Structure 1
């Protein structure tokens, strides 16, 4: 791995997780774009650790699927530093205010969480736990979480594609916005899709409908990114770090739901 990609990997882990990754030797827009392309790798590591926790919980208490699901979701949130949940709350509060662009951007910079933010966080966490519980009951739990955490981070290269500018002149958005070419995002998507199908093939009782669920999980996260960034561009004029975090959090239940419904 070249120095630029190594810096991108460090930046990806440094901004998307609480895991020790070291400091990149430089941080610029080129490194920022590579960090977003490598975001699914960070998601896979977070998901892998959470999957291990789920497997351990099931080993100790095989019938406690709900408990294992809650633990898995909490580990993902904790290893992400709750950063994406905070972004989701800020974005929800901004959109919920239905104010002008400058006011919404100001709301997103405030440290408090309003009612729309609270509802958004509770809603996605409930969906995460419910969908993951259904996957666990179908003996596809840790695999589903690993697929979903990886696919949800796939939203980042799509959210940072070259047609989406930064909404403000400061913050994370200025480093990563408009840094990823659509072709690069497409190649990354293909790699994640292949990995998801391979993991499904290795799981017990693999079936055509389960393959379809895994493919849908990946492709729907891309659709989530496209829809969210379009809304952000309309309301805010572009993307921000909070929008990126919100997209990741929205994509996680979007990925888990087809996996739950096809197991």
Structure 2
């Protein structure tokens, strides 16, 4: 791997996680150039969460308790970055009237009722999915795969949609090209393959459909994407994956 690719990989970890990877050397790559590596960050986060959940199950913890603690591990490793995006999108889209007001609400660090409800539902659904994987002894593989694949939808969202604001992450990372978006999709899909074709294909379809629906909603609401929309797209795609996995396992 070349120095440029290593720097992009390091940037991906700095952007999407709190995992220490050292400082970037000058000149630092553009944010969008790291998009191909976002699923790799997800794989590492999912692997760590899967180890925690599996260890707790092996120690005799109930599946739901182990699942919530695995989920907590994931949030710690990412700084709850994507969860924050989901809450902001729910508050903005649910409570705002007009594009400008919706964007203003999404910038507000305070959480409202729509955001709180969205977080509760998202965490509960994800924990239930992880519990199913723990009970079927496939939690590490499932968490790694789904965490990776759900982060592959973000580069595609960036490549497909214009930024909704003149500043912010969505604008800074908007230079994602199709090559990097395709690379992210490829890495995300390969990560799903250990689950088996009977699970990987419907999960990929479910995640794609969920991400497209959210992208369509975001375009209608604010005419584009923001960093919060990207985080919400990861969360929605992950929830869709766990729902499909719970049906097919």
Bin the TM-score by the shorter chain: over 0.9
Mapped partners of 1:44, 1:10: distance in 2: 14
Deviates more, 1:91-100 or 1:171-180: 171-180
Indicate if the aligned counterparts of 1:5 and 1:31 stay in contact, CA closer than 8 A. Answer: no
Structure 2 residue 107 is the aligned partner of structure 1 residue 112:
no
Structure 2 residue 141 is the aligned partner of structure 1 residue 143:
yes
Indicate if the aligned counterparts of 1:8 and 1:33 stay in contact, CA closer than 8 A. Answer: no
Indicate if the aligned counterparts of 2:92 and 2:103 stay in contact, CA closer than 8 A. Answer: yes
Structure 2 residue 82 is the aligned partner of structure 1 residue 84:
yes
Name the residue aligned to 1:95: 93
Name the residue aligned to 2:21: 21
Mapped partners of 2:241, 2:220: distance in 1: 25
Mapped partners of 1:169, 1:27: distance in 2: 24
Count of equivalent residues: 249
- The equivalences for 1:86-235 within 5 A come to 86-161=84-159, 163-181=160-178, 184-197=180-193, 199-200=194-195, 211-235=197-221
Name the residue aligned to 1:208: none
Indicate if the aligned counterparts of 2:150 and 2:235 stay in contact, CA closer than 8 A. Answer: yes
Indicate if the aligned counterparts of 2:13 and 2:41 stay in contact, CA closer than 8 A. Answer: yes
Name the residue aligned to 2:6: 6
Name the residue aligned to 2:42: 43
Return 5+ residue gaps in structure 1 as ranges: 202-210
Indicate if the aligned counterparts of 1:154 and 1:222 stay in contact, CA closer than 8 A. Answer: no
* Deviation at residue 178 of structure 1 after TM alignment: 4.5
After superposition, the C-alpha distances for 1:117-173 in whole angstroms (9 at most, x for unaligned) are 000000010101112212222222222211111111111111111x31111111111
Deviates more, 1:67-76 or 1:139-148: 139-148
Q: What TM-score, normalized by structure 2, do the two folds share?
A: 0.92
Q: What TM-score, normalized by structure 1, do the two folds share?
A: 0.87
RMSD value, Cα: 1.9
Indicate if the aligned counterparts of 1:54 and 1:68 stay in contact, CA closer than 8 A. Answer: yes
Change over 3 Å in CA distance of 1:169–1:223 after alignment to 2: same
After superposition, the C-alpha distances for 1:178-237 in whole angstroms (9 at most, x for unaligned) are 5231x543343233223321x225xxxxxxxxx322222233223322222222222112
